[in-house]
Structures are given as C-alpha cells and as structure tokens.
Amino acid sequence: MTSPNPGSDRDPLEEFIKRLQESGFDPQAAGNQGLPNMGIPLDPAMLSGIMGQINAMMQGTSSEGGINWDSAKQQARQILVAQGDPSVSSQQAAAVKDAATLADLWLDAVTEFERPNFSTEAWSKSEWIENSFDTWKEVTGPVAQSLAQAMNDTMTSQLPQELSGMLGGGNIFAGMGGMLFSMQMAQALSSLATEVVSSTDLGIPLASGRSALLPGGIAAFSEGLEIPPQEVMLYLAIREAALVRLHKHNPWLREDILALIQRFSRGIHVDIERMQAQAADLDFDPANPEAIMEALGGDVFTPQHTDDQKLALDRLETLLALIEGWVSLVTEEASSNLPMAPQLAESMARRRASGGPAEHTFAQLLGLELRPRKMREALAFWRHYDQAHGAEARDALWKGPETLPSGEDLDDPEGFASRRALITASDDEFDAALEKLLAGGYEEKPE
C-alpha cells in the first residue's frame, strides 16, 4: 500500500497526522470527541493501529480490479484444512478408476457421444478448489469489481471530506470491498467443496478438459441412503461421465453457459443505498475493519433484474434444465443393471429441487437465484424424443443452440418435432409448403 502522499518518504501515520494538523484539526486536542458525526477518536496510538491494520489487510492485493484472488483461494483451502480434508487414499483412487471404467462401458451403449481422451481423477476438496478456481474467477469478476466500487462510494460518503482526501480518496475502502468479496468467495467455495461429488456437479465442467470424482463428497451424499457405497460411487460416475461426454462433444455449451452467467453478472448492481444506511447505523470502528466488512456484507445486491438479465436468466435456466434432463435419462438407461438406481435418481432429483450447492453458491456470490424450474419437464422431453426418434436424433439436438428446444418447447414436446421439421426443411420442401399456403392449400382451423 502506498502512503497517502505519493512520493513522500514520510511514515504514513506521520503524514496522516501532519495533514490533519495542516487542515486545522488537532488530533491530540480532539481526544475522544472524534470526527464530526463519526464518533472516531483520533489519538495517535489509535491512528497507528488503524493504519497498521489497513496496511496488513491490503498487503498483497491483486491488481486485477483490486481483488486478491490468490487470497480468496488460499482462504478457502485453509477453511477446508481446518475442517479436515484428508488426501485421497490409493484405495479411493482405485475405486474411482474402477467406477469410471465401468461407467464408460455402460454409457457406450446408450449415447452417441464417445469417451473423452482423458481419464477420471480422484480429488480431495482442496484439489477441487484449486482446479475449479479459474472458472469461478472468470464468472465472478464483474460482481467483485462492482462490490469494491460500491464499498468505496459508500464508505467515502460517510467520511468528512478532509479525512476522505487523507485516505487517498477512498481507495482504501475499494480495497476493503475487494477483501470483502474475497472473504465471501472463500466461505462460499469452501462450503460448496464439502457438497460437490464431481467436477461437473453444477452442470458444467469447472475444470475444462478434466474429469474427477470427489470421494469425500460422495461419502457425504451417501449418508442416510442405506445403499452400498460402491453402488453410489458407480451411479455418480455414470452421471459424471455422461456430462463430460456431452460437453466434450459440444464445446459451445460450456461457453454459452459461462457467457450467460457473465452477462447476468455485468448487470448486477450493488444496493448502495442499503449499504449507506448500514454504514450510517454502524458503530464505526476503523480499528476493526473485519467487523465493518461483515456488517456491510450479506445481501448487498439489488433485487430488481434488468430486462437483459431476465433474458439471460431464462436462457440459463433452460440450458441447465436440458442438461440435467438429458443426463438423468442417459444415466437411467446406463444404470439399468444397478438395483438401487431408481432410489439414487430420486435422491438426486430431490437434491436439485431443494436448491443444490450450485444454487446456493450462485446466490451468495452473484445474486443469481437459479431455480430448478422445468427439470422434470426437460426429462420428460428427452424421454419422449428418445422414444419417438431414437438416441442418435436425440443427441443430435445438442449440435448448437439453435437446434435445442426452448423453455416453451419443454411444455409441448410433441409439437417441438413438427416445429423443428419446418425449420430444418430443405429448400424444395419449404418452397412446396409455401406454394401450397399461397394457393390456399392450408385451411384455417376453426376456433
């Protein structure tokens, strides 16, 4: 952190007090009277503590939008280590390998998508944090920067002009906003790491080009199910392998989902009025910046969504529902030899319907409240299309976003086929249909 007076070799505290005195304010004389409307005592000893803590907080802050991403990742891993995150044992790794091998054999018979050219790994919770972090950084960046700017605007608005200038125009508080987001991100990801069972558990591969199962998360998922652990492992391995195949053969899908999340994120606005109200009511103690950040954290996003955000959210929910429906159907077909597969499928459906780990994390980090809408409709759609047209035609719908059904199509799977036939008709077929229409060959149906 630089001193309040760039280019000066003076100690930051000395410079701070000097500028106070030059402005006509004597910190010694002020004693416990503090700054107007702030209740901040400004004796030199306290000021030294303030500057020391702020310097410590800001130490090592990344230049990427004022967000210390490395700090967020390390904090998340430290939380997991403190809770207990043992390394994956050789026995667990072998179990993952065996389950993944069998899952691929069974999937070969039910989907047109071929196996990827990489194997399934076994990860600890910390390894999931490490390997998925770049994706989280990518999708949360816009919100992190908005929060840092909002913290800057909010806190400087509560300071007397003289003090705001002495603190570098509020840059310290922008850094505090970045630290606030780092803390929230560390908490959210460490919590999510205890729940996820695979690298694609959220519907997208968070570590592109890799696949993994988390034995610790699978053990947590298995609790209370009264199903043999190896059967649970195999069922989840099938889901993981199906998702990996889907994304491997349709790379546009992951790109679209991340782009939609970023599009939604860019429209996020931090509720500055709410933060200002909290700051005004806050027992402001700059010697305890962690308490300030905790008080100004929580639900800081404006609840209103823009029209563009609503469009992005609708498309995102539909894509995730289609992914979940397709994976559920393919897993059902591939796991027909598993005695407890129906119970496992129902457990997974309940997990999604109650708002799984993805929904909670997106809400906390992005203000993005993904609801599990139309997941059952999506499963019904894929089942109907599979029975009517076969697996090859079913999987061919993933060719691009223009060939997939819309949210409205999920409510009318039978009508989708006829609508799609018109869209994909050849030029001759289209011309014939148009000629027939112009000649009055289509009678309007009576209402």
* Beta strand residue intervals within 148-260, DSSP E: 211-213
Residue 40 has pLDDT above 70, yes or no: no
Segment 54-108, tens digit of pLDDT: 545 455 444 465 678 888 899 999 999 999 999 999 999 999 999 999 999 999 9
Q: What is the mean pLDDT of residues 149-172?
A: 60
Residue 271 has pLDDT above 50, yes or no: yes
**Dihedral-angle region of residue 86 (phi above 0 means left; psi in -120 to 50 means alpha; beta otherwise):** beta
- Two structure tokens written together for 160: 């007397």
Whole-model pTM: value is 0.76
Count CA atoms within 13 Å of residue 261 on its CB side.
29
Cα(348)–Cα(247) distance, integer angstroms = 20
Specify whether the CB–CB gap between 362 and 368 falls below 8 A: yes
The residue type at 397: L
The mean of the pLDDT values for the chain is: 77
Least confident stretch, 176-185, 269-278, 359-368: 269-278
pLDDT at site 171: 58
pLDDT at site 160: 61
pLDDT at site 304: 66
